Amino acid sequence: MAVRISGKEVSEKIRRQLKSEVVNMRSLGIIPGLAVIIVGDDPASKVYVRNKELACQEVGIRSEIHRLPAHITQEQLNHLIGQLNGREDVHGILVQMPLPPHLDELEVINNIHPDKDVDAFHPINVGKIMIGDYRFLPCTPAGIMELIHHTKVEIAGKNCVVIGRSNIVGKPMSMLMLHENATVTICHSKTRDLAKICSRADILIAAVGKAGFVTADMVKPGAIVIDVGMNRDGEGKLCGDVDFPSVEPVAGYITPVPGGVGPMTITMLLKNTVTAAKNL
Ligand code: NAP
């Protein structure tokens, strides 16, 4: 039976460390500040932003939420980002995605100063990840690395399979595993023999967005299985991409949903904000 990797526990440990770092920084007159922009009334986005606000409070980061109406223009949004870029008390800027369709997400990301881009979505930060010279890592992949390190299993030389090639999860995840000397295979919707490829993985990372996608026959006995998925099952309950009941007896380590990757993502945002405040 797999050991469950508790993202909640790992996340609490990192938050305690961050909290004491922030106490030290505050004693030196540095108060890490995060500005979050939310456009429109998307209920899920509102919950995410509220959770970020609470997490900031927990570790002593000053947060400010800019709630903008859905009909705001690109120019108005760009103007606000420009103002936040120029403010010394704002160390991190995050624009909650998705944005209403008339707004250009790429333009928004490009407008955030790379030194304040705590999501690490700016092309400069993406390029830095590629060459292994980075300050910020995108929050979800960074959180997953913490979870894998927590198992103490050596990554170098292992076969790692990442299912999914999105810019925010799959691609950076693959790059981080490569930097740690894993042999990485990236799978996507056009991959042939997916189950066979997955079944050779020592570390399997599922970032697909389909409930129950990874089944026991796709998992090598003893493998580390990381479930990034956040889906709703037929009853509306949160579930991952991994068919947990069938995979748990086969895997060596497994992350649950909820309580696995999810809590790590916000914690890594806090860490990036503290890093940004240290460096400005
Ligand atoms: P995404 O942009 O939709 O990407 C999904 C990836 O899965 C794509 O690369 C797609 O391939 C691939 N895929 C879809 N169907 C497939 C199939 N049948 N076989 C193989 N590959 C397939 O999603 P994302 O943003 O990376 O997110 C993935 C999941 O993680 C979602 O459930 C999301 O909610 C969750 N998530 C969780 C967190 C967290 O903090 N826990 C953070 C971010 C995302 P193609 O490229 O070929 O289309």
**pLDDT at 135 (0 to 100):** 86
Phi-psi region of 81 (alpha: psi -120 to 50; beta: other; left: phi over 0): alpha
pTM of the model: 0.96
- Domains of the chain by start residue, with CATH: 29-113 (3.40.50.10860), 139-262 (3.40.50.720)
Residue nearest to atom 19 of ligand 1 (CA): 189
Which residues of the chain, if any, have pLDDT below 50?
A: none
The predicted pLDDT at position 158 comes to 98
Q: Is residue 265 lining ligand 1, measured as CB closer than 6 Å?
A: yes
Measure the CA–CA gap between 198 and 185, rounded to whole angstroms: 9
User: Would you call 101 helix, strand, or coil by DSSP?
Assistant: coil
Confidence (pLDDT) at 279: 81
Choose one of 161, 208, 228 to mutate for the ligand 1 pocket test, by most ligand atoms within 8 angstroms of C-beta. 208
- Active-site residue identified among 96, 115, 117, 171: 96
* Residue 96 is among the residues annotated as catalytic for this protein: yes
E strand or H helix at 111: helix 105-111
Q: How many helices (H) and strands (E) does the chain have?
A: 10, 11
Provide the pLDDT for residue 280: 67
Rg (CA), the chain: 19
Residue type, 68: L
| CB-based contact 218:246 (threshold 8 Å) | no
Q: Contact at 8 Å (CB) between 35 and 25?
A: no
Whether 119 sits among the annotated catalytic residues: the reply is yes
69 prior amide bond cis, ω within 30: no
Residue having the nearest C-alpha atom to atom 35 of ligand 1:
229
Active-site residue, 52 included: yes
Q: Which of 117, 119, 227, 243 is catalytic?
A: 119
